[in-house]
Chain A
Amino acid sequence: MPASPLRKLIKSRDVQVLSNLFSTLDPSLVVLDLEKRPLLGNSATPLEDSPELTALNHNGERVGWVASRDNPVCQSSTAAFLEYWLDKETGQRSLAAEVLDNYRELHLFYRFSEKLAASLQQDLIAQLALDEICPLIRSTHGYVALINEENNDRNVIAEYHQRPEQIPWLAQAGDFIQGVIDSGSAELTHLTADGQPIESERLAAISFLCAPLKTDKRLLGLVFLVGEGPRRFTAGDLKLVYAIALQTAPAIEIAFLHQLELEKTILERDLATARRVQAALLPQIMPTLKGWRIAALWQPARMVSGDLYEFLPFNDGKLGIAIADVTDKGVPAALIMANTRSVMRAVVSIMNRGQSIGPGKLLAEANRILHEDIPLGMFVTCLLVVLDPQTGEITYANAGHNLPYLRTTGGVLQLRARGAALGIFPESEYEEFSTRIQPGSTLLMYSDGLTEAHNPAGAMFDYPRLQQLLADQVDGQPLEAETLLKFLMSKLHEFTGPAWVQEDDVTLVAIERLAG
């Protein structure tokens, strides 16, 4: 037999106290439940002997009866007392229930904060939030979605289902959710059983609750919850979910930044490997030619570089010296740099099997091949010098690269040669020029990372400064190849200052013909 409402209201611990009180007041008094079964007092009192029973009401509903065979006044005042007592008792319990709800909320925040601190994954954080909040506010269904900033797509990263069936009228939540996204504030709405919006929470069959996940900078996503049947959401639930969303959003943002950091670490590791691989593509040792000193320096602006230099031995004993600079820097430039190097080596290797081919034709052939591989908008500047170490004669052609300087005993000359950079036109041609490097003279090839470096005031290092520095002598003697490159770099650092962030890759090659 189910417990009567009155039995639920009068706990067993109260029965003894009240029974004692009633038997003292009137030994014939009995309190009955709705079905007239005795609950308190003298259960032996025959009801048929009692005058009319007094009804016992609570919250506007009948919950039982009071009967007294001997004392009608006591019967009515006991009924009045019990109604007053029940009212106090339920009030006290409601208050206790509310305090316990507050305790639950408080502990939810304790637990949630503790767990949040231990998680750095967006989906786990979102699941934590749902798993904590849904049971507490008795939500039957919910999800957390992130919003893609670029296309506004919503990506559900965590879900909660108390039951697997599809929630009815979920499709109707679309406009409601969009409203929350637009306003940036949490909202609550109620629907009737046939899916019509309704103001009254008491009459609602279903409630939707949606809170934005936002930081001070941006909207990350949203929490959407459904409440059904007897447990619709209240304004208190809305505040609680909003508070949880406020805690969840920064945690998700931190997890996102952590993920970025991890990816960055992996990328940096890959780049460090790429840098080692790329450095290995450059000549590891300088060519040794009798009567000549050759030095080179390569300093990327980033982990990898779009600059390259290469020594290309010819069959007839001549030496090709190439310096090249890919537009832009970083990974895209590095990929093209590697390709350019391979093409230059292949072209020289294949075309120089018979008689020696001049630098102009070599550049034209390299351009023809590279043009197919280099993306639109990118190109490679390249200066190719072919040196006859016996005579000191150089033949050179230029695909848009910085003009080299020849430091002679009589002064510093700029060697002029023009041509389109590699990769721009499919059929470029390159004019060849010749001159002779006399004993005691040095040819300097360089990339624009040197001449186009800026100082804090915004001034450029530029060509005249380079030309002037090349003319400098130490103790009346010109600087030898390697020392010259170090000297130029020290002057560059002097010019740019200690806080310089290198803007572009710097590559220098010095070809010095020894005096005498």
Chain B
Amino acid sequence: MEDSRTNKILIVDDEAHIRLLIQQTLEDLEDQGVEILSADNGREALRLAEQEQPRLVFLDVMMPNIDGLQVCHTLKHELQMSNVYVVILTAKGQKYDLQRSQEAGADRYMTKPFDPDELLKLASNVLFE
């Protein structure tokens, strides 16, 4: 049976340069037909996620209006998108944040500055394996 899931990745971060860096990291995947979407706040992220049904979401924690953990929780528990793979990206690296990410339902937790190779590998695995 053909996999009906989309090949879309959503990047959510209020900082433009982080969005650019993640996009640049995932450039090779774009050449393979992966569509990269981006949002600079939580509300837009939820709207795009619902509309585009991405397979993978990179989510910053500290954002205006709805923060990343809330977005994650809404995706996983309210929008019936429990299959979406959520990676929390944060500048903090404390145990407390890791725990809160897990409670929000995140699948993975990465700290900034992220390792580009690790991020690309993770995205490839989620989308193609």
Chain A residues within CB distance 8 Å of chain B: 3, 11-13, 92-93, 96-97, 99-100, 103-104, 106-107, 110
A11 to B37, CA, bound (A): 11
| Chain B interface main SS type | helix
Does A93 lie within 8 Å of B24, measured CB to CB?
Answer: yes
A181 to chain B, nearest CB (A): 33
Contacts of B38 in A (CB 8 A): 13
- Judge whether B20 is part of the interface by a CB distance below 8 angstroms: yes
Contact of B118 among A13, A92, A107 (CB under 8 A): A107
Does B35 lie within 8 Å of A97, measured CB to CB?
Answer: no
A12 to B21, CA, bound (A): 17
A112 to chain B, nearest CB (A): 12
Does B116 lie within 8 Å of A96, measured CB to CB?
Answer: no
Does A99 lie within 8 Å of B21, measured CB to CB?
Answer: yes
Contacts of A93 in B (CB 8 A): 24
A100 to B117, CA, bound (A): 9
Contacts of A100 in B (CB 8 A): 21, 24-25, 116
- Given A12-B35, A13-B38, A100-B25, verify A106-B20 contact (CB < 8 Å): no
- Given A11-B30, A13-B38, verify A96-B20 contact (CB < 8 Å): yes
Which residue from chain A places its CB closest to the CB of B35 in the assembled complex? A12
CB under 8 Å from chain A, chain B span 12-40: 17, 20-21, 23-25, 30-31, 35-38
14 extra A-B contacts, CB within 8 A, seeds A11-B30, A12-B35, A96-B20? A11-B36, A12-B30, A13-B38, A93-B24, A96-B24, A99-B21, A100-B24, A100-B25, A103-B114, A104-B115, A104-B116, A106-B113, A107-B116, A107-B118
A406 to chain B, nearest CB (A): 82
A103 to B21, CA, bound (A): 10
Contacts of A92 in B (CB 8 A): 20
A229 to B113, CA, bound (A): 31
Contacts of B25 in A (CB 8 A): 100
A100 to B21, CA, bound (A): 7
A403 to B37, CA, bound (A): 99
Contacts of A3 in B (CB 8 A): 31
Does A107 lie within 8 Å of B117, measured CB to CB?
Answer: yes
B16 to chain A, nearest CB (A): 10
Contacts of A110 in B (CB 8 A): 115
Does A13 lie within 8 Å of B21, measured CB to CB?
Answer: no
Which residue from chain A places its CB closest to the CB of B115 in the assembled complex? A107
Does A97 lie within 8 Å of B24, measured CB to CB?
Answer: yes
Which residue from chain A places its CB closest to the CB of B30 in the assembled complex? A11
A196 to B25, CA, bound (A): 37
A92 to B115, CA, bound (A): 20
Does B115 lie within 8 Å of A103, measured CB to CB?
Answer: yes
A298 to B119, CA, bound (A): 70
Contacts of B17 in A (CB 8 A): 96, 99
Contacts of A106 in B (CB 8 A): 113
A104 to B114, CA, bound (A): 9
A11 to B31, CA, bound (A): 10
Contact of B116 among A11, A12, A13, A103 (CB under 8 A): A103
A100 to B115, CA, bound (A): 8
Contacts of A12 in B (CB 8 A): 30, 35
A103 to B35, CA, bound (A): 24
Offer 21 A-B interface pairs, CB within 8 angstroms, sorted by A. Answer: A3-B31, A11-B30, A11-B36, A12-B30, A13-B37, A13-B38, A93-B24, A96-B20, A96-B21, A99-B17, A100-B21, A100-B24, A100-B116, A103-B21, A103-B115, A103-B116, A104-B116, A107-B113, A107-B116, A107-B117, A110-B115
Which residue from chain A places its CB closest to the CB of B25 in the assembled complex? A100
A231 to B85, CA, bound (A): 35
A488 to chain B, nearest CB (A): 67
A106 to B118, CA, bound (A): 13
B40 to chain A, nearest CB (A): 13
Closest 9 CB pairs of A and B: A107-B115, A96-B24, A100-B116, A103-B113, A96-B20, A103-B116, A96-B21, A104-B116, A100-B24
A93 to B115, CA, bound (A): 18
Which residue from chain A places its CB closest to the CB of B37 in the assembled complex? A13
Contacts of A99 in B (CB 8 A): 17, 21
Does B20 lie within 8 Å of A13, measured CB to CB?
Answer: no
A97 to B17, CA, bound (A): 12
Which residue from chain B places its CB closest to the CB of A100 in the assembled complex? B116
Contacts of A96 in B (CB 8 A): 17, 20-21, 23-24
A97 to B117, CA, bound (A): 13
Does A13 lie within 8 Å of B36, measured CB to CB?
Answer: yes
Which residue from chain B places its CB closest to the CB of A110 in the assembled complex? B115
CB under 8 Å from chain A, chain B span 29-65: 30-31, 35-38
A36 to B55, CA, bound (A): 35
Which residue from chain B places its CB closest to the CB of A107 in the assembled complex? B115
A220 to chain B, nearest CB (A): 29
